[in-house]
A and B are shown apart, each in its own frame.
Chain A
Amino acid sequence: MDPEAEFGRLYEANRTAVHAYFVGRTADKWLAADLMQEVFMRVWQRLPELLDRSLDGQRAWIFTVARNLSVDSFRSERSRADTAAAVDDEPARPSPSAATAVVAAERLAIVSEAIGRLPERQRTVLAMAAAGGLTSAEIGSALGIPAGTVRYRLSEARRTLAAALAGYDQPEPSET
């Protein structure tokens, strides 16, 4: 067994989902990275035990560790900006026109702010779906909740975001 290769496989298979989970819990991309590192440090320390499990069992083990990690202790050690600011440090995507780019950036800012205000349970499933690319079933399995509950929380979150964007999309009534 090559420990580094086995660990690399586990890391690549799960890092995006774990990071997305912590983005949902903390609303901070870099704090989420710290927490993700802590989880995978434990994976590295317990690798032989973990490799005896099935792929599903490995992911369940990893998310059990993630759920049990105290977010607050990490939060106090880090003074990074929140997700909205983290979004800002990403390079802007090329857009067909300046006007389209401005609209996209403004909508993104509105959504980022609205996501930051969501209840943590809704934000977590939303982040795991949008940033982690997980299905409702996969999110439910990772969090230990039914897929139906995940779909309900996603629906509630989307409704809140849609309401936030509606104010932006509606043109101001003209005064006559």
Chain B
Amino acid sequence: MSIDDTLAAWGAAARLPAAAAADIYQRIVMTPSPARAARTSTLGPGLDPAWWRQFSADFSARIVMSTQPVPYAA
């Protein structure tokens, strides 16, 4: 048995068993990560800009109207 064979046997024995490596992988990916958070928290396209323009215009008009004196009821 040459020194190369002995070293190869040592290397094989020192290597992490596949099951242990898989276990470590699972433990890591179970933890929260920025990459996953970015993927899962992505919102849809949102409301149309035209809707927001209309909403803002209506809102402003109501604010202005609220400052007007209310005519006495007849």
Q: Contact size class for A?
A: 35 or more
Picked from B10, B20, B29, B39, the residue with its CB within 8 Å of the CB of A7 is: B29
Interface positions of B from 1 to 48, Cβ below 8 Å from A: 1, 3, 6-16, 20-21, 24-25, 27-29, 31, 33-36, 38-39
B41-61 interface bits toward A, Cβ cutoff 8 Å, 1 = contact, 0 = none: 000000000000000000000
Task: Label chain B's interface by main secondary structure.
Answer: helix
**A104–B9 touching, CB < 8 Å:** yes
Picked from A37, A48, A83, the residue with its CB within 8 Å of the CB of B35 is: A48
**B24–A37 touching, CB < 8 Å:** yes
With A19-B16, A41-B28, A45-B34 known to touch, is A130 a contact of B39 (CB < 8 Å)?
no
**B10–A87 touching, CB < 8 Å:** yes
Cα-based distance from A93 to B9 in the complex (angstroms): 9
Residues of chain B having any CB pair with chain A under 8 Å: 1, 3, 6-16, 20-21, 24-25, 27-29, 31, 33-36, 38-39
